[in-house]
Amino acid sequence: MNDRELGCAGGQFMDRGRMNQNGVVQPLLTDLYQITMAYAYWKSDKTDDTAVFDLFFRNNPFHGEFTIFAGLEECLKFLDSFHYSQSDIEYLKQTLPEGIEHEFFEYLGNLTARDVTLYAIDEGTVAFPRVPIIKIEGPLIIVQLLETTLLTLVNYASLMATNAARYRMVAGKHVKLLEFGLRRAQGPDGGLSASKYSYTGGFDGTSNVLAGKLFNIPVKGTHAHAYITSFSSIGELKTRLIKHKQTGILEDLLEHAVRHRALLSHLLDVSTEESSEGELAAMVSYAIAFPDGFMALVDTYDVKRSGLLNFSAVALALNDLGYHALGIRIDSGDLAYLSCLARETFEKVAERFKVPWFNKLTIVASNDINEDTILSLNEQGHKIDCFGIGTHLVTCQRQPALGCVYKLVEINGQPRIKLSQDVEKVTMPGNKNAYRLYSADGHALIDLLQKVSEPPPAVGQKVLCRHPFQESKRAYVIPSHVESLYKVYWKSGKICQQLPTLEQVREKVQISLKTLRNDHKRTLNPTPYKVAVSDNLYNFIHDLWLQNAPIGELS
């Protein structure tokens, strides 16, 4: 392993010998106030205080009613490697205000996440507002110091996985989805995170080669318009020969293509003179390079009058020599119309030239696709087999941040509540457990938060579920199945669960989404999924709220 590879490995290797973490994920990847707070805590003799923090979000993104939790593995790797280097300490000495006691830097230099316990929902699970997806217990100072980095690792990962899962839902199971967003992402690592978590959310691959290498994700791609425009005539073709797949005899691919092109010109009612000769040359050369993987961009000049004719000619030429082309990509224009036109063309060619596999050629579309475009294409009817999606996917244009927060809920066994003028922003105090209650048909009914001291809800037994803030909203639920949502993922300096592979997390997403009723998942006006608190927790919250809220005085 050379230096450059260490560049994206960070010199940290998990025992499991799995993926490495980006080297920038380190304790200084945080907000300065975490460190100034750490000093103030330390100075106030709070090194032995223990705290519980909840990491949660308040609203589902994209006007939806669910979120996919992702980023957990990165959080665990971060805990595993948490340590301030000597150079970090030197930097902090220069950066923090003067007068910081020297012993504090020694204290920092010895800090690790060993005494922290992290509970989490499984990565890839659907999650809902206000139900903590991660709960962290441990020494106040260290759990406070983890805040920003954990938020950074969870926020975008979950947003991206959720976005990808939504694209998957609207595209349906049988359409392939590829992530093409590297060039429009928030810099190099934004692009890598996008590739990884769109795969988690249900995409089939990415164009990002480094993501393929680092995360073992399928990578896909053919050529750009520049390839086509780099040829302007068949005279520029320096190589025209290709070996017949079966006989091994060298043949002139261009000659075959030109012959088929003339025949196709009649069949498709397109003049060969109108179509681009440069495009033909480019496609021939590309087919010679990838005879078994010929996939061509057909919209450089004109899909109907040039691209489909040239592609079909080259694909038939390849067929003469024992190869099957893969298909086309359309990157502009009316995708519904053009994809239908392309399919119709392929069907004509299949029939006329007796090449039935032509019916099954793949049609990829890739121009500025978003969730709404796919819905609209579905309505219009289209023949697209695969979408390549970039900008809208990776920037999460409809809502570019998830807004996870990290709130103190208990300190030294005492609950803490953060009040706000805005009821939605009031935190749920205390150390809590979370359960998901299921109906007999396997659907998730409600998520229930309880105090850790309460016994878990039991199958077949009636449990009173209350809206956390609206007194009159209550329901009795008799669960057919109860899932305890938290597992201990990190304790005593060790990862405590066998972590799933990326593939397994990806499967988990689909399995978890299946437990949700369709009305929670639909695009337009989905039904909110219920999140409730136990009666006991309800009373606890509201007593504490009244104790802490000052009584106003109007005069």
Q: Which of 153, 161, 171, 509 binds its own copies (CB under 8 A)?
A: 153
Q: Determine the interface stretch with its own copies among 80-88, 120-128, 307-315, 530-538 (rule: CB under 8 A).
A: 80-88
Q: Is 148 annotated as a binding residue?
A: no
Least spacing, CB of residue 269 vs its own copies, in Å: 10
| Smallest distance from its own copies to CB 399, Å | 9
Element (H, E) at 379: helix 371-380
Residue 89 interacts with its own copies (CB under 8 A): yes or no: no
Consult the annotation and say whether 33 binds a ligand: yes
Question: Which residues have C-beta within 8 Å of that of residue 111, sequence separation ≥ 6?
Answer: 82, 83, 84, 141, 142, 145
Task: Return the closest-CA partner of residue 391 out of 550, 241, 180.
Answer: 180
> Would you say 515 is a known binding-site residue?
no
Restricting to residues 38-67, name those near its own copies by CB under 8 A.
Answer: 39-46, 49, 51, 53
In the list 60, 158, 198, 275, the residue contacting its own copies (rule: CB under 8 A) is 275
State whether residue 353 is helix, strand or coil: coil
Among 14, 28, 111, 488, which residue interacts with its own copies (rule: CB under 8 A)?
28
The site map against its own copies for 171-210 (x = CB under 8 A) is ---------x-xxxxxxxxxxxxx------------xxxx
Strand-by-strand arrangement of the 494-495 sheet: 414-415, 405-411, 50-56, 134-139, 117-120, 487-491, 494-495
408 scored as a contact of its own copies (CB under 8 A): yes
Q: Does 112 bind its own copies (CB under 8 A)?
A: no
Do the strands 414-415 and 405-411 form a parallel or antiparallel pair, or are they unpaired? antiparallel
DSSP-assigned states of every residue in 398-427: T-S----EEEEEEETTEE-----SSGGG--
Query: Does residue number 29 form part of the binding site for its own copies (CB under 8 A)?
Result: yes
Please report, as residue ranges, which positions from 448 to 507 form the binding site for its own copies (by CB under 8 A).
none
Kindly write out the interface string for residues 320-359 of this chain, putting x where it contacts its own copies by CB under 8 A and - elsewhere.
Answer: ------------xx--------------------------
Question: Residues 299-318: x/- map of binding to its own copies (CB under 8 A)?
Answer: -xxx--xx------------
Cβ at position 64, least distance to its own copies in Å = 18
Residue that is written with structure tokens 């298909």 in the block:
327
Of the two residues 406 and 529, which places its CB atom closer to its own copies in the complex? 406
Spell out a b/e string for 359-388, using b for 16 or more CB atoms within 10 Å of the CB, else e.
eebebbbbbebbbebbeebeeeebbbbbbb
For residue 298, the 8-state DSSP code is -
- Strand, helix or coil for residue 214: helix
Size of the site for its own copies (CB under 8 A): 140
Distance between CA 199 and CA 58 in Å, rounded?
25
Q: Which of 15, 10, 9 is nearest to 495 (CA)?
A: 15
- Count other C-beta atoms under 10 Å from residue 230's C-beta: 14
Q: How many angstroms separate the CA atoms of 486 and 121, rounded?
A: 5
Which of 302, 385 has the CB closer to its own copies?
A: 302
CB of 290 to its own copies, least distance (A): 6
Binding residues for nicotinate: 33, 180, 222
Binding residues for 5-phospho-alpha-D-ribose 1-diphosphate: 391
Binding residues: 33, 180, 222, 391
